[in-house]
Structure formats: C-alpha cells, structure tokens
C-alpha cells in the first residue's frame, strides 16, 4: 500500500449560463442526469455520467448576481471551470500538496463534506477542488450509485 492518500477524479466542472440550455450537449453525448441541486440560491449544479458508473461531468450555473460564478463567467465565459478530486483524507493530501510547494486555499468543513482548493496559479493553470465526502453525505440524497464514482465513497482501505 502506498503512503500517499487515495485520490481519484470525481468530476470535471463546466461553468455555464444555463444548465437547461447546456445539458442538451451532454445528452447528445449519451449522458444521463444524476442529480441537480441549488447551493444557497447562489448557484445550481447538476451532474451527469455516461451510464458506465465512472466518468462524470458537472454543469454549474449562477442563480444570483455577484457570485464567484458570475464573476468567472464575466471574465472567462462559459467553459471548463474546475477538476474535482475526491480524496479519502483531505488533511493528509493537503499536507502533501503544501510540502510540494503548492497553495491550498479556502479549506471549509461542512456537516456532509470537507473541501479545499488548489488555485489555478499552480503550474497546470487548473483549479483543483479537493473533496472529502463524510459518512452523512448520502443521507437524504439520491442513491449512492448517483452520488459516488462506482457507487461508493473513496477510502484508504
């Protein structure tokens, strides 16, 4: 077993003006819609997969004026926004990232998940979201098969 914490790509986020307008493209690729939620009326996200249990895409669209997402769309337009990496131990992976000389910002712990970001100022130019699901994440949400890659949360076991 590696001494590196478990990490896998959870999804690729695409910023759009309208989920309803953009999701037709994903449907044309054969995607199915898994889930759609609003986040405090600031933005809405919807996830899609290819009916194979792994690869997932996420559309994110603003619901309110003057949010991080409206600013992003004004500056960059619609398109790729972030890569979300599911991590089994966010504190361990954040420590590894910091040891490598990279920044970890906006560390936030919620009841159902913990997240942090590696800003696009890193040498890849990509925004990475680190995301650790908590045991309670699937309570009151769609089936695990729709929430997690391969239907299960990542673990170091």
Q: By the 8 A CB rule, do 90 and 114 touch?
A: yes
Answer whether residue 126 shows pLDDT above 60. Answer: yes
What integer best gives the mean pLDDT of the chain?
A: 91
Interatomic CA distance for residues 62 and 44, integer angstroms: 6
Per DSSP bridges, beta strands 128-133 and 105-109 are unpaired
Interatomic CA distance for residues 153 and 69, integer angstroms: 27
- For the chain, the domains span 7-151
Cβ partners under 8 Å of residue 128, min gap 6: 82, 83, 84, 85, 117, 118, 122
Answer whether residue 19 shows pLDDT above 70. Answer: yes
Name the residue with tokens 């990496």: 85
| Predicted local distance difference test score (pLDDT) of residue 92 | 94
Per-residue model confidence as pLDDT tens digits over 50-59: 876 667 999 9
Report which of 140, 135, 139 is spatially closest to residue 154, judged by C-alpha positions.
Answer: 135
Average pLDDT over residues 4-32: 94
Q: Which helix (H) or strand (E) holds 53?
A: none
Cα radius of gyration (the chain): 16
Band the pLDDT of 1: cuts 50, 70, 90: very low
Top-confidence residue, 141 or 84:
84
Answer whether residue 94 shows pLDDT above 90. Answer: yes
- Counted residue by residue, the chain has a size of 157
Answer whether residue 93 shows pLDDT above 90. Answer: yes
Band the pLDDT of 5: cuts 50, 70, 90: confident
Interatomic CA distance for residues 16 and 138, integer angstroms: 26
What is 7-151's CATH topology? 2,3-Dihydroxybiphenyl 1,2-Dioxygenase; domain 1 (3.10.180)
Answer whether residue 4 shows pLDDT above 90. Answer: no
Q: What is the pTM of this model?
A: 0.88
Interatomic CA distance for residues 128 and 122, integer angstroms: 10
């Amino acid at each position: 077993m590696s001494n590196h914490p478990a990490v896998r790509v959870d999804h690729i986020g695409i910023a759009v003006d309208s989920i309803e307008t953009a999701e037709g493209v994903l449907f044309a690729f054969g995607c199915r819609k898994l889930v759609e939620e609003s986040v405090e009326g600031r933005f809405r996200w919807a996830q899609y997969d290819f009916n194979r249990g792994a690869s997932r895409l996420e559309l994110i669209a603003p619901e309110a004026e003057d949010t991080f997402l409206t600013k992003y769309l004004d500056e960059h337009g619609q398109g790729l926004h972030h890569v979300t990496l599911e991590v089994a131990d966010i504190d361990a992976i954040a420590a590894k990232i910091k040891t490598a000389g990279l920044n970890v910002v906006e560390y936030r712990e919620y009841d159902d998940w913990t997240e942090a970001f590696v800003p696009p100022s890193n040498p890849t130019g990509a925004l990475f979201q680190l995301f650790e699901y908590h045991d309670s994440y699937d309570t009151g949400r769609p089936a695990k098969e729709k929430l997690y890659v391969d239907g299960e949360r990542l673990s170091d076991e």
